[in-house]
Structure 1
């Protein structure tokens, strides 16, 4: 596995949910699955996560929950 990392900030990040048909135009790559989530820089450097739309939504939900848990834990630690 490679550890190549692109960096951006939340304010500068781009994201798109695309279909197999729209991916070449919207994110500049062909995908094999029905849907994909692109997260990256506005210039096109990033990650494409392909799969079932429900599985992509589940991943986004897990990321959302993790970030909010981390925020809550950080706030608790700051008030000690």
Structure 2
């Protein structure tokens, strides 16, 4: 009995079954083409991904702003405690 391997073609995305002994393509299955509805789903997912990225960016920006404000506040408090020391 022949040993077969199943391979997806990187160019046409078809599925090929190859006989390991003869190195011949035994069976071929064309890739399934996506319909326009899949494109709409893809666009929706991309829009959601962009919104999530924008949200993460704005959250990171707010976190950095809060860190700066906290550091400035702590610095001012320290200056009030030790007005003569400026090092």
Q: Same fold (TM over 0.5)?
A: no
Choose between structure 1 and 2: higher strand proportion.
1
- With a CA cutoff of 8 Å and minimum separation of 6, indicate the structure with the bigger relative contact order: 1
Q: TM-score, normalised by structure 2?
A: 0.39
Q: Which has the larger radius of gyration?
A: 2
Q: TM-score, normalised by structure 1?
A: 0.42
